[in-house]
Amino acid sequence: MMKDYHWYDILQYTALLLMAAAAPVGWRVALWVALLLALVSAVKVVARRRLGNPALTPALRWVLLMPIVYWAVLAVSLLWSGDVAAGWAVLRLKATLLIFPLCLLLTDTRYLDAVRVRALGYALVASVVGVFLFFAVKAGLGLADGRSFAAVTGVTFDPRHHAYTAMYATVAMVFVYCALSAGWTAMRGWQRGLLLASLPLLICYVVLVNSRAGMLAMGVAGMACVAHLAVVRRSWRLGVGAAVVLVGAIFAATQLLPGHVDRLASTLENVEQDARTYINRSNWNAVCQRPWFGYGVGDYRSAQVAQYGADSFDAGTRAAYNAHNQYMESLLAAGLLGLLTLLLYLLSPLALALKRRSAFRFPVAMLTVVIMLNILFESMLERQMGLLFIGFWIVETVLIMSVEENKFVRMQKS
């Protein structure tokens, strides 16, 4: 309960819970919630009459500065952009990355403990499962109307972009595993049951939306969780059991959804003929012409289209066809400096967790790996669907580590 906390802390925590649940529902909802979080945090600053967050160590503050630095590097690239208006449009789009670190840097989050931070993960899981069940019921109604199983799965199962929804579900799966692994003995039976029941639903979600990147990330995350269970937690029986369940799920998918699995297998076997290979080659050709500083945030999209045309690639007729690779997008926009700051943004929480030997280094590592794998195959920081989700959950890793360090400080004082 939060009855002993100030009203502005309760408001901010409520906004954080809503933010954790909002992205899987829809980016418009998430954007409004992000603005609400910013407003509530500003009200909190005025009410407390104090700026700054005593819950953060200097190292954590540096981690929170990384998304701001990444955005600032893109802003600087306006200096060598011809189309300044287009550049400002991109910067306004990506400005949502600034909301979450600023809220934490400027407002006191010492009221958060491990239970309340963990509840943010539960909010994500509940939201993703709820959205999945909604589309599952919708697909079931389609089957009842005589549509084929193939017609109600794949890109038609969830009409939103499948790569993003698969990422949401995979991150939720990672949280479920980490929650079960860390708190199994302390949980009540119904809590274990709900979390265990969510796993097959989340796996089905990733498979049914037919995202190749999502299935790959889910497989990597699944194998990492099995290894963690067997080696780190030293639960060999559970590790073997989890491996059997994972292999069984893959086998069941090959039988129930052969088209989905064949699509992934075909991509791996014929990677040279895949459209994304041509897209990445064409973008790489553009990068090689201006590797150091890129084309500028205002011109890189037009440079992409021009290169598609020069390479006689059909996507040259579609200005909206991005690189399907966030690392490539950053190279095009701001060159090597853009790529370096993107990597610092994504990897700094993990680097700090490993350096401090944080008890939460495995969940931080898994979140980082899932995000970095997904943006390798999709430019997820070019849409609000990705900006809001990734921006919030990278900052969430800082909340996790700050709670751990605050607990240590409280123990030292007591």
Residue type, 157: F
Closest to 158 in 3D by CA, of 144, 137, 178: 137
Q: Which residue has the tokens 């994972």?
A: 246
Instruction: Report the C-alpha gap between 154 and 138 in whole angstroms.
Output: 13
CA distances 146 to 139, 140, 149, 282, Å, are 11, 10, 9, 43
Instruction: Please tell me which residue, 312 or 310, carries the higher pLDDT value.
Output: 310
Range ranked top by mean pLDDT from 13-17, 187-191, 323-327, 362-366:
13-17
Q: Is the pTM of this model over 0.85?
A: yes
Does 334 score more than 70 pLDDT? yes
Instruction: Report the C-alpha gap between 16 and 365 in whole angstroms.
Output: 22
Closest to 375 in 3D by CA, of 388, 365, 390, 395: 390
Q: Which residue has the tokens 């990355």?
A: 97
What confidence score (pLDDT) does residue 411 get? 38
Does 275 score more than 70 pLDDT? no
Name the DSSP letter for residue 315: G
What confidence score (pLDDT) does residue 318 get? 53
Does 173 score more than 60 pLDDT? yes
What confidence score (pLDDT) does residue 142 get? 85
Does 406 score more than 70 pLDDT? no
* Mean local confidence (pLDDT), 355-382: 90
What confidence score (pLDDT) does residue 351 get? 93
Would you say 173 and 218 are in contact if contact means Cβ atoms under 8 Å apart? yes
* Mean local confidence (pLDDT), 6-31: 94
Would you say 334 and 73 are in contact if contact means Cβ atoms under 8 Å apart? yes
Closest to 135 in 3D by CA, of 166, 163, 164, 156: 156
* Mean local confidence (pLDDT), 166-182: 90
What confidence score (pLDDT) does residue 319 get? 47
Those residues whose C-beta lies under 8 Å from the C-beta of residue 315, and which sit 6 or more positions away, are 279, 282, 308, 321
Q: How confident is the model at residue 409 (pLDDT cuts 50, 70, 90)?
A: very low
| pLDDT tens for each residue of 51-103 | 999 989 999 999 999 999 999 999 999 999 999 999 999 999 999 999 999 99
Instruction: Report the C-alpha gap between 369 and 147 in whole angstroms.
Output: 37
CB burial string 278-297: b at 16+ within 10 A, e below = bbbebbeebbeebeebbbbb
Name the DSSP letter for residue 23: T
What confidence score (pLDDT) does residue 412 get? 39
Provide the percentage of residues in the chain whose pLDDT is more than 90. 47
As a whole number, the mean pLDDT across the chain is: 85
Does 410 score more than 50 pLDDT? no
Lowest-confidence pick of 95-99, 150-154, 282-286, 338-342: 150-154
What confidence score (pLDDT) does residue 314 get? 62
Sign of the C-alpha dihedral computed for residues 151, 155, 158 and 160 taken in this order: negative
Provide the percentage of residues in the chain whose pLDDT is more than 70. 86
| pLDDT tens for each residue of 208-250 | 888 878 888 888 888 888 888 877 777 776 667 777 777 777 6
